[in-house]
Structure 1
Amino acid sequence: MVFVGPDPGVVMEWEILRNLDPPDRRSVMASAIRRRYRGGEHLFHQGDLGDSVHLIEKGHVAIQVVNPAGTTLTLTILTPGQFFGEQALLDPDSRRTAAAVAIGAVETWELRRAAFNELQRRHPQVTIVVTEMLASQVRRLSEQLLDAHTLTAEERVLKQLGRLAESFAVDGAATIPLTQEDLASLAGTTRPTANRALQGLVDDGRVSLRRGRIEVPRVAALTDPRRRPGATR
């Protein structure tokens, strides 16, 4: 991890800050610390004492848990503009319920609880940031619950793959640095099910499976609405 230091002049277009006046947005970012991480580096570990929330500026972050059997499960992949660790702002005794791992180079703005509490004291309006964080989390969980009830396991795999391809896209193609096990975990299913869902895409050339990664030569072909799960054909 590299400490970069705060930049009071930075005003980010974070969704969770959208209801703040510009001066309050600047105050939030001026209270944050810019951090840089290498690929594979932990931003924090499961079980660590939580004392800060991270806003992602660059790169991707995997949120992972180790289940009782000792298996690492990937719960979600977060992208620039998203955040994680918000529980730390609410409970001074909170422990990290999951680990956060950098996928490639990552840059975040870390807002520590002590700094946020002081910011709230001086600018009560910034309390709305916590409300926005919780509302965003509820929307995310609600969508996952809806998917679990309305999509088959294979459809969930394809939906996750489409999202990842769009997120990692560069010049119309994407190299997704995740395994089939990771993709299965994100979709809440098993590797064999994920492999079955991918085989049709492999057969028609829309996806290539490599060790430790999934390659998508044309993201547009993969994410065509007419070919997405549930689309009318």
Structure 2
Amino acid sequence: MDTGVVMQAPLFAALDSETAEQLVLSMSTQEFAKGKEIFHEGDPGDSLYVITHGKVKLGRRSPDGRESLLSVLGPGEMFGELSLFDPGPRLTSATTVNDTILIALHNEDLRTFISRHPEVAMQMLAGLARRLRRTNEGLSDLVFTDVPGRVAKALLDLSARFGQPYKSGVRVTHDLTQEELAQLVGASRETVNKALADFAARGWLVLGAKSVTLLDTGRLVRRAR
């Protein structure tokens, strides 16, 4: 386990290294193959998870079967923490994008830990606030930003979390299908593919299999506004 990556999670940010390591040791490690569901929308919310390796997608399904991809999370990010502050059924489904390793902590154990380290609650609330802010920005984008702008913004967000320097650009291995990328943007696959093809034709990026290499982030930033 990459302890340095784990310590990036808001759960550990307020702790000294010794206390954080003790908490990690009290958590259970769980491994999931690609495409496995960790929990389903409506399931009881009884645990918090921190990703140590791989990616997890959070989504919802409408009554008529349509799917919406809300976010993609990677190493050092956590999910499932909402049930700690608001006990109830899960609001989303969590599914692995690729082979994934998580560490999990049951809510009862986490409440006991927070009672001894109340500063952790503030860090977790800050993490929830950041996710809420991203959600609100996404809702605003659906109303005020066209599809190419939303595509550019999604690519920049994925780059900030999963990008790696590559030749003259930034390689982003997002591991998403074309349909999942379209769900993340909130548009049809055809419209998103058209925007990606246009960006590629302009020389802003190079498309790959479940990846993209950003060559001109400045142009994408301007297009995302």
Under TM normalisation by the shorter chain, which class is it? Answer: 0.7 to 0.9
Aligned pairs for 1:27-42 within 5 A: 27-42=22-37
Which residue of structure 1 aligns with residue 198 of structure 2?
A: 200
Deviation of 1:202 (Å):
4.2
Match of 2:151 among 154, 157, 160: 157
Deviation of 1:141 (Å):
2.2
Aligned pairs for 1:73-84 within 5 A: 73-84=68-79
Which residue of structure 1 aligns with residue 187 of structure 2?
A: 189
Deviation of 1:37 (Å):
1.1
Deviation of 1:129 (Å):
3.9
Aligned residue-pair number: 216
Q: Secondary structure at the match of 1:104?
A: coil
Deviations 1:10-54 (A, max 9, x none): 574224132334444334323322221111111111111110111
User: Does 2:129 match 1:135?
Assistant: yes
Match of 1:230 among 206, 222, 225: 222
Deviation of 1:197 (Å):
0.6
What is the alpha-carbon distance in structure 2 between the residues aligned to residue 148 and residue 136 of structure 1? 19
Q: Label 1:131 to 1:28 Cα distance change in 2 as closer, same or farther (>3 A).
A: farther
Which residue of structure 2 aligns with residue 14 of structure 1?
A: 8
Bigger RCO (CA 8 Å, 6+ sep)? 2
Deviations 1:32-90 (A, max 9, x none): 22221111111111111110111111111111211111122211111112111111212
User: Does 2:96 match 1:98?
Assistant: no
Conserved in 1, the CA contact under 8 Å of 2:172 and 2:214? no
Which residue of structure 2 aligns with residue 116 of structure 1?
A: 110
Which residue of structure 1 aligns with residue 49 of structure 2?
A: 54
Which residue of structure 2 aligns with residue 44 of structure 1?
A: 39
Which residue of structure 2 aligns with residue 3 of structure 1?
A: none
Q: Secondary structure at the match of 2:154?
A: helix
Conserved in 1, the CA contact under 8 Å of 2:149 and 2:223? no
Gaps of 5+ in 1: 1-6
Conserved in 2, the CA contact under 8 Å of 1:31 and 1:116? no
What is the alpha-carbon distance in structure 1 between the residues aligned to residue 172 and residue 115 of structure 2? 45
User: Does 2:101 match 1:107?
Assistant: yes
Q: Label 1:123 to 1:163 Cα distance change in 2 as closer, same or farther (>3 A).
A: closer
The residue type paired with residue 60 of structure 2 is V
CA RMSD of aligned residues (A): 2.8
Deviation of 1:149 (Å):
5.2
Q: Label 1:194 to 1:131 Cα distance change in 2 as closer, same or farther (>3 A).
A: same
The residue type paired with residue 131 of structure 1 is L
Deviation of 1:155 (Å):
0.9
Q: Secondary structure at the match of 1:128?
A: helix
- TM-score of the two chains, using structure 2 as the length reference: 0.80
Q: Label 1:128 to 1:22 Cα distance change in 2 as closer, same or farther (>3 A).
A: farther
Deviations 1:102-132 (A, max 9, x none): 1111112212101112213343443334323
Q: Label 1:132 to 1:26 Cα distance change in 2 as closer, same or farther (>3 A).
A: farther
The residue type paired with residue 36 of structure 1 is E
Moved more, 66-75 or 175-184: 175-184
User: Does 2:138 match 1:144?
Assistant: yes
The residue type paired with residue 207 of structure 1 is V
Q: Label 1:49 to 1:189 Cα distance change in 2 as closer, same or farther (>3 A).
A: same
Gaps of 5+ in 2: none
